[in-house]
Every structure is written in structure tokens, then in C-alpha cells.
Amino acid sequence: MVTPKNIYLFTNPLYKDSFDPNSKSLLLKITSRDNPLTKQLHYVLQIEHIKSVGFEEENLTVSEFTKLQKDGIDFIPDTLSHLRIKKSHDEIQRIKSVCKLTDIVFEEFVKQTIEPGITEVNLATRLEKIALEKNASFSFPAIVAFGKNAAIPHHHSGETKLKKNDLILIDFGLKKDNYCSDMTRTFFIGKPTEEQKKAYAVVLESQQVAVQQCNNVTMKQSTSVSAKNIDKAVRDYITSHNFPTIPHSLGHGIGLEVHEAPSLSPHSEDKLTEGMVFSIEPGIYLPGKFGIRIEDLYTIQNGNLTKLTNSKSDLTVL
Amino acid sequence: MVTPKNIYLFTNPLYKDSFDPNSKSLLLKITSRDNPLTKQLHYVLQIEHIKSVGFEEENLTVSEFTKLQKDGIDFIPDTLSHLRIKKSHDEIQRIKSVCKLTDIVFEEFVKQTIEPGITEVNLATRLEKIALEKNASFSFPAIVAFGKNAAIPHHHSGETKLKKNDLILIDFGLKKDNYCSDMTRTFFIGKPTEEQKKAYAVVLESQQVAVQQCNNVTMKQSTSVSAKNIDKAVRDYITSHNFPTIPHSLGHGIGLEVHEAPSLSPHSEDKLTEGMVFSIEPGIYLPGKFGIRIEDLYTIQNGNLTKLTNSKSDLTVL
């Protein structure tokens, strides 16, 4: 809990020896059955004369919240979710670092031969092993989808076997130093069809539409970009080529969590501005046939849009 | 949502192609911006004349709950957490299967040479790779703790290097077919001290005290065992040997989640009975020196306590 005077960390005795007792930046409070979190928290609020407390309503369960409530204290939801929307220089450095690692892991991954017959789960495991060797963990279970499974945007990798002339969609993110990455690539084993080639080109171009929209606005003059306008420009581009619109958001903020503010979506109220880090991930999904998605992370630094994931995204046939 | 008439599954369009449209066991309802979860759920409650809804307060965020609330509908917390306390035959089979795999992974793990100099993270990675090869994932990040780090019950594996004559505590669980396992072993690299040998023996014996307590009660006559009494018997055994009491619960239920009902702890109201699956995990922790924990999973089937994890737990020097 952060108050005007102090930063408190409440924890149970199991974790107390993990902390430096000489820490000057935070006050450690050990909870127990006789002196539980609720009691200690209310005591701190009382002695610091605090009447209103913001909280992360997305990260507090009903069970936890029920215990915390008390007469005379006003718990205010939806106050904190946007506190992390702009990243500090140090945070951006960490995200850059995990993105660089993501590129390295992916490069090593595509160097290995991918044979028809391998399953989605096998391939996800192969990717995970490479990440493990680099001391990084996945920020979410990797999505590996073959052929028509790629038309399901959040496909759960399964026992489907790779066929000749199949397409592979891989969406994965790493976590290092508490910060997350997220990247998607779609590539071909054998020859893509004309329709696949066209869809791939449109997805790649539509990502550039978003990049141009960000750059068109002169961010150097501190003007921000409306996230929903970028989302719309990309959708319009895709549908103008007679493909269906994206069944998900164009993008999302990322940092300590894989999905956080801002949101690049049709009804978003967010403006993209200095210090934000977000994905741009257009996709075309043709149910029963195939799906193509290309996702990269970007940040706005010194008024410029900077790409953070730099794995090759031209149409690739392995 | 389970009603007297139907089982509904609400999901957004991203996942709709993952489901078998011919499923007879559940009704799939696709949510959208214009027809969101809340609206559809309230509609179902209305047409089925339902006024009271139980929910998992441990698994619903304040944000989600706030959206669901509606005048005229009574949301009742704490109604469902004990619904899963007794497992079906099929569930126990799945847990047996993931426990067997846990033994196999651990056996393979201890076969490999563990050299001084290796870090906790390296060793956790080695374990994770073996699990990956068996197509299992971790149900929680493995705890690998060397020497005095083992005195922190929930130590976060770090860059500590293994020294000669160190002790290693490994607490890990796998997940397969949606069911979890959980097991802890403590073993020695080089020669244990007399104090370590004594503590190890007491931990192992105290686990047997719990087993005997379960068996003493004639479960065949459908009598259940009070969980807090077992917890107390084990604590008393440990403290009677002049070691500090366990700073955590003696054990916890396990199934779809790593921690679920019942709880084997001093203030538990749970009774252990037919169909329950739970851990028995006594430990002795001497801060700044070392920690020892031995954890196994058990179930009560046909009136008998059955051990589900069967990796060797005699004092082992590698």
C-alpha cells in the first residue's frame, strides 16, 4: 500500500526472510492469524488519517475485497489501472531487453529444421526449451497453430501434426526482470497459395498503416494519437481488400503484465503518447482455411515510434 | 453457469471455433459488445426464473463481479469452494496419472549428476526440461532452494550456487489433463550434519504420524477424520523433539487447482473423508541454517488412505 508518507509491504511469515530487513524504501509488515492483513491495513489508514483507498479491481478477488471493506473507508475502484500506462525510461529499457531476447529465441527457433509430422505441442516445447536455456520464462503459454487452426486467434496448441505446405502461426512472449514481451509470426512450410500470399501482404501492409498513422501525427509537438483511430485505419485497410475485419483488438499495452493499458480497439478512449509501450497485431482469419497474424511491440520515445521486436516479418517459406 | 436445466458456456468469438458445435452436454453462448456476458447471463436467469446464484468468490475479480450484479438477483458468496472437495473416480484416476508422471520426472532428475557450482535456477530449468519432454507443464514455478535458502518455505529460486555438503529442497508440481500434482523432497549433496539427520528423521516420522492418524480412524465405517486434529498431532510430534512448529499448514487439497479444499491446518473445519485428495507436508525450518520438507499426496479410497506420489523419501545423499 502506497500512502503519502510510506510504502508498506504486507506479507505472511512464509516470505519474511526473502526481504532485506535494512530496506529503506519500504516498510515490511508481517501478517499473522492474530494480526491479519485487514487489521494492520485499517490501523495504518487510521494513523495516517486516510479515508479513500484506490485499488486494482482487476487484481482483487471478491473474497479478498470483502475482507478489506470497513465502515468509514471509501474503496474507489478503477483508479489505478491507468497508473502504469506510461513507462519510465528504466521500464522501457527492460522491455527492450526482453524484446531483444525474444528475437534471439525466435531466430534460434527458425534455424532448426521443422519437419512435417511434428505436432503443435512438440513445436511449442521446442520453443520453450530455447527460452529456458536463455533463463527466460514464457509470459503466457505459447500459441502454435498449424493450417486451419491458425484461423482460431487464441488457438490452444494441440496434437495436430504439421502437413506439407502447411502454414504455422506462432504467438509467444517472454518474461524477464518482471517485464513481458509478445510477438507473433506466421510462416510457410512449402508453397503458400495465392490467397495466402495476398492475405499475408495485406496483414503486413496494414501493420504499416498503423505505423504511418502514429508517425503522421507530429508527436514531437506532444500531440497524442487516438488509439481507436489507428484501430479503425487498420480495419478499413483490411476490409477494403475484401478480407474480414479483425475479430480482436488491434493492440494492447504491455509491461509488468502481458495485457495492460492502453487499448488499441474500436471503443478505446486511450491516446497514444510518450512512454507508452504497445503491440500492433493485425490479423486475417478465414475459418476452416487459415489465419495470418503479425504482431510487434512498439514504444513512443522522444516523439518517435520505435519498434521493439525486430524479427524478420517478410513472407518466409521454410 | 450451471442451472437446474442446463450447463451454459459463455465465451467471446475468439474461442468459438474451439468447441464442438454438436456438443450435447453444454450450451455455447457467444458474447459480443452488443450482447455482452452480463446481458446474456441475466436473460438466462430470467427465463429460468432463477433468483440466487452461487459463485467462486476466490476466482472472480471485483471488476467482473461489479458488472454482473443486478437488482433482484442474489449473488451468494462462499457457496462453491467446497463443491470440488470430493473427487470422482475419474478425477482420482487423472491425479494418480499426473502423480505417476511426477515420480518418473523426479527419478530421471536425480539420475543426472548434480555438481557444486550449479545455480538454483539452472537446476529448476533442468527439472522443467524433463517435464516438457514428457508433455507435462508445471502447475506452479518449481521451488529449488539450497542450504539456508531451504529455511524459507516459499523460496524463489535464484542465482545461489550449490556448495559442497549443501542440502537441496525441491518442491514442484505437474499439470496434465487439467489436474495437478505437488511433491517435495529434500536431499543431501555430501555429508549431512547430525542436526540435519535428526531433523530429517523427525520430518519423515511426523508424516507417518499423520498417516497413522488417518488410518487409526476406521474409515471403512464411514467415520471421517478431523483435519485440524491431524495437523495438531504432527505439530506436537515435531515440537516434542525440540524443533519449531511448522510455519505453514500441514497440507491442502489438490485437483484442478494446486491449492483447494480441504485444508489441513490448525483452524480448519474440514473432515477428511472418502474421495478427498490432499498433501501431507510437514517441515522443519531453522532460519539461517537449513530447512527440510517432505510432501506427498494422498487420497482416501474405499476407506483406505492411499499414497499417490511414491518417490523415495528416505534420507538420500547424492
* H helical segments located in B171-299: 194-216, 227-240
- Predicted confidence at residue B221, as pLDDT, reads 57
Q: pLDDT digit string (tens) for B32-45?
A: 888 999 999 999 99
Across the interface, which of B62, B121, B141 has its CB nearest the CB of A62? B62
How far is residue A188's CA from residue B64's CA, in Å, rounded to a whole number?
Answer: 40
pLDDT above 60 (res B218)? no
Residues of B in contact with A18 (CB under 8 A): 152, 155-156
CB neighbour class for B15 (10 Å; exposed up to 12, middle 13-18, buried from 19):
middle
Chain A CA closest to residue B125? A132
Q: What percent of chain B has pLDDT over 70?
A: 97
Flag if A14 and B156 touch (Cβ within 8 Å).
Answer: no
Q: What residue has cell string 476452416?
A: A288
CA angle A293, A299, A301 (to 5 degrees): 155
Across the interface, which of B57, B63, B141 has its CB nearest the CB of A58? B63
CA angle A27, A31, A32 (to 5 degrees): 155
Q: pLDDT digit string (tens) for B81-99?
A: 788 999 999 999 999 999 9
User: Within a 10 A sphere around the Cβ of B292, how many other Cβ atoms?
Assistant: 28
Flag if A61 and B62 touch (Cβ within 8 Å).
Answer: yes
Q: What is the mean pLDDT of chain B?
A: 91
Provide the chain A residues 265-294 that lie in CB contact (below 8 A) with chain B. 267, 287
Mean of pLDDT values over B60-71: 89
How far is residue A158's CA from residue B17's CA, in Å, rounded to a whole number?
Answer: 14
Flag if B14 and A248 touch (Cβ within 8 Å).
Answer: yes
Q: What residue has cell string 450450451?
A: B27
- Predicted confidence at residue B264, as pLDDT, reads 97
Q: Which of helix, strand or coil describes residue B271?
A: strand
Flag if A135 and B128 touch (Cβ within 8 Å).
Answer: no
Fold of B89-307: Creatine Amidinohydrolase (3.90.230)
Task: Identify the helix (H) or strand (E) that includes residue B130.
Answer: helix B120-133
User: Which ranges of chain A have pLDDT less than 70?
Assistant: 79, 217-223
| Side-chain-side CA neighbours of residue B6 (13 Å) | 17
Q: pLDDT digit string (tens) for B106-150?
A: 999 999 999 999 999 999 989 988 998 888 888 998 999 999 999
Provide CATH code, domain B8-76. Answer: 3.40.350.10
Flag if B33 and A132 touch (Cβ within 8 Å).
Answer: no
Flag if A66 and B60 touch (Cβ within 8 Å).
Answer: no
- Predicted confidence at residue A217, as pLDDT, reads 66
pLDDT above 90 (res B171)? yes
Chain A CA closest to residue B267? A33
**pLDDT confidence of B219, banded at 50, 70, 90?**
low
Q: pLDDT digit string (tens) for B276-292?
A: 999 999 999 999 999 99
Question: Is B244 near chain A, with CB under 8 Å?
Answer: no
Q: pLDDT digit string (tens) for B45-63?
A: 999 999 999 998 888 999 8
User: What are the percentages of helix, strand and coil residues in chain A, rounded to 5?
Assistant: 35, 25, 40
- Give the residue among A163, A201, A187, A203 at the shortest CA–CA distance from A317: A187
Helices (H) and strands (E) in chain B, counts: 6, 19
- Give how far B219 is from chain A: nearest CA, Å: 32
Q: pLDDT digit string (tens) for B179-196?
A: 999 999 999 998 999 999
| Torsion of the alpha carbons at B109, A138, A141 and A309, rounded to the nearest 10 | -150
> Is ipTM > 0.85 here?
no
Chain B CA closest to residue A55? B62
Name the amino acid, one letter, at A161. K
User: Within a 10 A sphere around the Cβ of B11, how many other Cβ atoms?
Assistant: 14
- A309 neighbors A99 (Cβ within 8 angstroms): yes
pLDDT above 80 (res B233)? yes
Residue ranges per structural domain of chain B: 8-76, 89-307
Question: Is A27 near chain B, with CB under 8 Å?
Answer: no
- Predicted confidence at residue A222, as pLDDT, reads 52
Q: Which of helix, strand or coil describes residue A292?
A: strand
- Predicted confidence at residue B241, as pLDDT, reads 97
Provide the chain A residues 53-112 that lie in CB contact (below 8 A) with chain B. 55, 57-63, 65-66, 77-78
Q: Which of A62, A66, A138, A259 to mutate to test the interface with B (most CBs of B within 10 A)?
A: A62
Helices A120-133 and B120-133 meet at what angle, rounded to 10? Answer: 170
- Give the residue among B297, B209, B211, B227 at the shortest CA–CA distance from B264: B227
Q: Which of helix, strand or coil describes residue B78?
A: coil
Flag if A15 and B248 touch (Cβ within 8 Å).
Answer: no
Q: What nine digits make up the cell of A199?
A: 492475405
- Give how far B14 is from chain A: nearest CA, Å: 6
- Give the residue among A163, A114, A177 at the shortest CA–CA distance from A318: A114
How far is residue B316's CA from residue B188's CA, in Å, rounded to a whole number?
Answer: 6
Question: Is B154 near chain A, with CB under 8 Å?
Answer: yes
Question: Is B33 near chain A, with CB under 8 Å?
Answer: yes
Q: What residue has cell string 479444499?
A: B261
Lowest mean pLDDT among A197-201, B165-169, B218-222, B248-252: B218-222
